[in-house]
Structure 1
């Protein structure tokens, strides 16, 4: 990578260093089963990949595990990620590290693209530090090796921005086609990129050379009016939206037929509300999460410095429009954003180049020891957050659930239907590689037990300690479950993990 001539006296920095460091961090515990923070989302993705591989179903028929006695076809986002993983399963068997490995590959490529975006928007030096900021961000590391589509989503978003910028500069048809493909795929994986990715893509179209001064708003408005009269613009937008709408129409029909859905449409979705938007505690918690888990604390001041330095540049307009787009998406999906950390991941695409610019401006005329101290502190904060909040959780949950899951795999037939007492969390079903029902401990009524028997359920499985994989079991329900186990001669109990497996036939309604 060549540096800008204005940065004389600065030795070229190897592009492989941020990519290598980021990939190394993402390879930690890559062998782990699908457990840990947000394991429910990863479990559904892993289940889809397993069913695609074992059942040989096409990509337009995704299946999940919490299907009861049905096949499990579900209304979902476009399952390109689990389908790709299933192709790897076909070659090497069902091994979860293959899915994590695909995420690591996507994340490594995204680091490279973030470096290119930082170089394009600001300078080669800023781009290199942008890649490093992206590489060590705790949230980026965790979801850059998680068994879900977020790593592929960020890769598509970064690819859309880079390829459209390349088309603007050189008018290469393949670059425009690649931009369309990446943008459309991002919208298929998740709907909300239409906003947080659409805005910066529009700014790429309207701006001149990103490293020049910012384009005046009056000029931007005039260019926007000309762009709206261009048929190519409407062809790009209409075909992309048509493909996305076509998939979600099909997915809705699938959900209507099966009764299974991730619940992202309709009034029941409950994405946001005025009370949530006015909840100060919610915003404070969100900012704290972003500051610690996304920016590793050290990145916060450099993000502010980068914002200040980029305010009057074309690249700054693109990056800031991306931040604004993520903010608008957060407002539109406030409930989901406060619960699901990966809703903040797109911030990394736009904050990392700004952090790189802020660091580049700050470190000039600073002693080397200060720079090394801050870099070391950022890495220590990132490793501490990853160790305590993510990697350790995977270890604890592995000890809690894998003995039961392995027992089910070993002792029960592949077509056995399991009642998983884990509330709405499908993690245990996926670990056991079985389909069945999800219920909470308070739903263990004689009527439901009889209904499961008639539907073909073979066993009841769960934990004395956990109602979900992260919610402690109330003491009263613990006693009820232990009484059920004691009354069942065929029950299996693991005293170390405090999990159980009870034949449904031994659960009598009157008991």
Structure 2
């Protein structure tokens, strides 16, 4: 069976136009959507920070959130490189909700190119690299987040690029300062954006330690390696230490920077079971890719890969990611994008499965079928449930442009507002384009705080002028009514009222 591309060890010229063109076209109808679907709260938080950079100053050292009380909103978070890039797009083109999606897709495309280069360096096969890149592009989880306002895609792309350029520099006989500089910048950026992506340091460390043990590492490389480690690890750690201090000083904890293991053994086992039986086959690699992944694991066991040059470095990478998975296990329950760091290793294993399948009788035909099904599986899994239909995880009044505009323009955007009930603390603020005080449940308005005051009283005393709510029980509460002035506007279930001082 001779299926052109699949039967050769080269990559035809049409590969990249077809891959990127098809991926772009499938995403095209959804670039203009506001945040919606799974993890829309994270998208709203990210886009709010980007909008605040655009409106309140482009200093990335002072990221601001909307739920800020009467403060300036500056708090700690991951380094807002992605948010800054989106804000720069706003500066050039004006505010459009398609800009964060387009920016992320371009980063995603760059990440595909970086992975293809890395896979080719590791495997020595352009064909294997292309197969792995195709599989990566159609990972359902990455397919979804590749056009979402999510900094994890930048961290993933930067980490892959950082590892590729480091290995290129490390293996070169000449100095290659350009590769070294790119490796340092990209690895540092990956760690600044999301600390877990510094897991690429594991294969780097194994390579260096092995070469030191075998006495084949030139002593002249040690200073450059020392600088690389100090900067790539030290700068992100310093940033996150500062971020934690900012969170404590501001009291604005929109971005959690703590470790979150499972709270019990039974919970841990349940999450791990769901990760293995649902998240891995359905979201991370997709069902067609999962077949190739299983074949790749068989190839790992039977193919003598334990003795290969790259086995120990990649095993160390996997071990560090496993440790990360366990210490963040509570997050892995519903936050599947926390597993995006696993994709490079998973797709490298997929390439082994593809190579094994192709060698079988009619294997090229089956491989072509599985690869062809990957875009279909990704689209079926993601589009209807996350982008299809109307609002998802967002109130209809905030989702549709007419009602959203009516609510946003009801009061000035610079007026402090009390907004809720919104358990996320960011969705309502983002769609309403407002800042101020948020409440997650109606009773939060009147329940006494440790100092005896209530959120409602405190918000009014600190300058909140308007209340946005879609909960009628809050408005009917006897402890709330004395603070309510005239009703300014009602749109659907949402009402906007003045607050009495």
* TM-score grouping bracket, smaller chain normalisation: 0.7 to 0.9
CA distance in structure 2 between the partners assigned to 1:448 and 1:278 by the alignment: 34
**Equivalent residue of 1:346, what SS?**
helix
Task: Report the more deviating stretch, 338-347 or 302-311.
Answer: 302-311
Point out where structure 1 has 5 or more consecutive residues left out of the alignment.
Answer: 1-5, 207-218, 465-477
- TM-score (norm. length: structure 2): 0.84
**Equivalent residue of 1:108, what SS?**
helix
Whether the 8 Å contact between 1:449 and 1:504 is mirrored in structure 2 is: no
- TM-score (norm. length: structure 1): 0.83
Q: 1:33 to 1:99 in 2, by over 3 A?
A: same
Number of positions where the alignment pairs a residue of Structure 1 with one of Structure 2 = 471
* Superposition pairs of residues 455-494 of structure 1, within 5 angstroms: 455-464=462-471, 479-481=473-475, 490=487, 492-494=489-491
Offset of residue 491 of structure 1: 5.4
CA distance in structure 1 between the partners assigned to 2:473 and 2:489 by the alignment: 17
Equivalent residue number for residue 3 of structure 2: none
Equivalent residue number for residue 282 of structure 2: 292
CA distance in structure 2 between the partners assigned to 1:463 and 1:192 by the alignment: 38
Q: Does 1:500 align with 2:494?
A: yes
Deviation per residue, 1:157-208 (Å, 9 max, x gap): 11111101211232411111111111111111112222x22113334556xx
Q: Name which of 384, 400, 403 aligns with 1:388.
A: 384
* Superposition pairs of residues 48-447 of structure 1, within 5 angstroms: 48-122=49-123, 123-170=125-172, 171-194=175-198, 196-203=199-206, 205=208, 222-223=213-214, 230-262=222-254, 264-265=256-257, 269=258, 271-273=260-262, 275=264, 279-287=268-276, 288-310=278-300, 311-312=305-306, 313-364=308-359, 365-366=361-362, 369-392=365-388, 395-396=391-392, 397=394, 399-403=396-400, 405-421=404-420, 422-440=422-440, 441-445=442-446, 447=454
Task: Report the more deviating stretch, 64-73 or 296-305.
Answer: 296-305
Whether the 8 Å contact between 2:407 and 2:491 is mirrored in structure 1 is: no
CA distance in structure 2 between the partners assigned to 1:134 and 1:163 by the alignment: 19
Q: 1:251 to 1:367 in 2, by over 3 A?
A: closer
Aligned CA-pair RMSD: 3.1
Deviation per residue, 1:77-110 (Å, 9 max, x gap): 1111111211111111122211111100000011
Deviation per residue, 1:314-368 (Å, 9 max, x gap): 3444444333322111112111232322110111122112212311320233266
Task: Report the more deviating stretch, 339-348 or 396-405.
Answer: 396-405
Deviation per residue, 1:426-477 (Å, 9 max, x gap): 011111221112212221328432322222223222335xxxxxxxxxxxxx
CA distance in structure 2 between the partners assigned to 1:243 and 1:9 by the alignment: 41
CA distance in structure 1 between the partners assigned to 2:390 and 2:186 by the alignment: 32
CA distance in structure 1 between the partners assigned to 2:26 and 2:146 by the alignment: 9
* Superposition pairs of residues 6-17 of structure 1, within 5 angstroms: 12=12, 14-16=14-16, 17=18
CA distance in structure 2 between the partners assigned to 1:80 and 1:480 by the alignment: 39
**Equivalent residue of 1:283, what SS?**
helix
Task: Report the more deviating stretch, 340-349 or 166-175.
Answer: 166-175
Task: Report the more deviating stretch, 110-119 or 196-205.
Answer: 196-205
CA distance in structure 1 between the partners assigned to 2:82 and 2:9 by the alignment: 44
Point out where structure 2 has 5 or more consecutive residues left out of the alignment.
Answer: 1-5, 448-453
Q: 1:428 to 1:368 in 2, by over 3 A?
A: same
CA distance in structure 2 between the partners assigned to 1:40 and 1:72 by the alignment: 18
Q: 1:367 to 1:158 in 2, by over 3 A?
A: closer
Whether the 8 Å contact between 2:407 and 2:489 is mirrored in structure 1 is: no
Offset of residue 253 of structure 1: 3.6
Equivalent residue number for residue 47 of structure 1: 48
Task: Report the more deviating stretch, 122-131 or 481-490.
Answer: 481-490
Q: 1:160 to 1:38 in 2, by over 3 A?
A: same
Offset of residue 385 of structure 1: 1.1
Q: 1:203 to 1:225 in 2, by over 3 A?
A: same
**Equivalent residue of 2:38, what SS?**
coil
**Equivalent residue of 2:52, what SS?**
helix
Whether the 8 Å contact between 1:45 and 1:82 is mirrored in structure 2 is: yes
Offset of residue 489 of structure 1: 5.8
CA distance in structure 2 between the partners assigned to 1:178 and 1:168 by the alignment: 13
Whether the 8 Å contact between 2:50 and 2:84 is mirrored in structure 1 is: yes
